[in-house]
Amino acid sequence: MQITPLNPEDPPSLGDFELLGRIGQGGMGQVYLGESLGGEPAAVKVIKPSVVDSASRRRFAQEIEVLKTIWGPRIAAFLGADAEAEQPWLATEYVDGPDLARHVKRHGPLPSVLTAALGAVLAEALSAVHTQGLLHRDLKPANVLLGPNGPKIIDFGLAAFTESTVSLTAPHQVVGTPICMAPEQAAGVKPLTAAVDVYALGALLLFAATGHYPHEAATPYMVFHLVTDPDTAPDLSGAPEELVPLLTGMLAHDAEDRPSLTEVVQRCRSVIEAQGMRIAQARRRLTAYTAGQRHQAAPADDSPAFPWPASAGDAPGAETVPATKTVPYTETAPEAKTAPAAQESPATPGSGPGPGSPAPSPTVAETAPGPTGPAVQDSPGPTPPARPDSSDGSRREQPAPGRPPAASRRPKEGTPTLRHSVQARRTAERLRAAYAAGAPF
C-alpha cells in the first residue's frame, strides 16, 4: 500500500473526514486516507479540479447512487459523499491491503485452489450486485483489494443499472479497461448483460492464476482489436489444467456461451473439492495466504503494466512502502529483547519467566548496564530494574518490591468501531508523525 504525506495544495479535510495522507491517484482524481469524526478510517476519492465539469459530476453522482444502493460483505461500504461540492468527493470503507494486480506482480500467481476460492468469492459478490439491478462493467485486478477479512470489490465508477436507458458516454465512446473487457462491451454493443462481468471475472482469474491477461499487446488499441476479433482465442498458456475448462467458458467470445455466476461458483467449488478441501476452508486459506505474503519484502518496481491512466493505489512517484514496515502490537518494546535477562518480568503473577525468556540474573542486573538501557547504579541492596519503554513511548509503572506486576493492558486509543482496527489506528498515527516531519511514510 502506497501512502505519502499530503501535499501543500491538498485539502486538510473533506466533509466530516480529516485527510491523513495520499493512497494513490488515477486519471480522474486523487485518493486519500481519511478519518471520520469518530475515528473510522476511510478511502476518500476526489475528482481533480482540472477535470471537474458537468459530465464528470453526473458520472460521479451516479457512482454515489450506485454505492448507496448496493451492500455486501465483499463490497467496500459507502461512508459519505458530496457530488455538488467544489471538489466532489466520495468516502468508502478503507481496506487495509494491496490490490490483486499489485499482489500478483510482487509475489507471483496464486495456486489453483486459491484462484478457485477467489473466483467463488467474487462470483457471489457480483451475483449480489446483479440481483440489485446493477452491472460493475470495470472489474479488474486493480479493483479487487485483498484485505485482512478477505477480498473486496471497489470502484463502481462505471457501474450501470441494467434497465437504465440513460448513457453517460458519447454514442460511440467505449469506457473501461480493455484487458478485462468483454468483446460486446469493447464493440460498443448496448444494452449490456451480466455476461460482461462474467467475462471480466474470467480475465481476472486468468491473471490471478498465470500473471497474464487473455489478450495482451503493446497498446490499448491493439488489445481492443484482439478482444473484438472472434477468430483470436484468449491466451490460456500457463493456466492450471483444472481451471482451463472454467476459464474457457467464462472467456467465450459470445455472451450466451458463458456460464452464469451461479455456475461459476459451482465449478469453483468442484475444483476446490477435487483437491480435498472444502470451499470455506479454501476461502480462509486465501485470506491467510495473501496476508502472509504481504508481510514479505516487496520489490521497488511498481510501474504499471500498461500505459493507460493508473488506478487508485498506483500513485506515480510515490515511495512504495512494503507492509513489513508495520510493526505488530506487542506489550514489550522491541529493544527489550536485547536488555539484560533480569529486566524480563513474568507474563502473569507467579508464573515465572514468560515463554522464551531466560532465567533472571540479579547479579548481572545489579552490576552491569543493559545494552540499550541506562546503567544501573550501585546500591546496598538489589534495585528493581527499570522496565523498557512501551510501544506507545510511555514508561510503564513498576510494582513495589515483592509485589506481583499488574496484568498487561493495551493502551486505550479511542473507542473502536466495526472497521476501526488497531492496524488502522496505528497507520493513522504513523502518518501524522511522518507528515509532521515532512518525511515519506
**Does residue 40 fall inside a structural domain?**
yes
Number of domains in the chain: 1
**Does residue 30 fall inside a structural domain?**
yes
What is the distance between the alpha carbons of residues 71 and 50, in angstroms, rounded to a whole number? 32
Q: Which of 61-75, 199-213, 223-237, 375-389 has the lowest mean pLDDT?
A: 375-389
In sequence order, the 6+-apart residues with CB closer than 8 A to the CB of 356 are: none
**pLDDT 10s digits, 9-29:** 999 999 999 999 999 886 678
**pLDDT 10s digits, 252-294:** 999 999 999 999 999 999 999 999 999 999 999 999 999 887 6
Whole-structure pTM value: 0.66
On the question of pLDDT at 310 being above 60, the answer is: no
Residue with the three cell numbers 491467510 = 288
Mean model confidence pLDDT for the chain: 76
**Does residue 240 fall inside a structural domain?**
yes
Q: What is the CATH number of the domain that holds 157?
A: 1.10.510.10
**CB burial of residue 125 (10 Å; 0-12, 13-18, 19+):** buried
On the question of pLDDT at 195 being above 70, the answer is: yes
**Does residue 388 fall inside a structural domain?**
no
What is the distance between the alpha carbons of residues 60 and 58, in angstroms, rounded to a whole number? 5
Binned at pLDDT 50, 70 and 90, residue 146 comes out as very high
Instruction: Choose the catalytic residue: 99, 138, 155, 197.
Output: 138
**CB burial of residue 122 (10 Å; 0-12, 13-18, 19+):** buried
Query: Which cell numbers hold the place of 50?
Result: 482540472
For the annotated binding site, the residues are: 45
**Does residue 368 fall inside a structural domain?**
no
What is the distance between the alpha carbons of residues 116 and 208, in angstroms, rounded to a whole number? 10
**Does residue 352 fall inside a structural domain?**
no
**Does residue 93 fall inside a structural domain?**
yes
138 tagged catalytic = yes
Binned at pLDDT 50, 70 and 90, residue 329 comes out as very low
- The residue range of the domain holding 28 is 13-325
**Does residue 104 fall inside a structural domain?**
yes
For the annotated binding site for ATP, the residues are: 45
On the question of pLDDT at 416 being above 90, the answer is: no
pLDDT of residue 437: 62
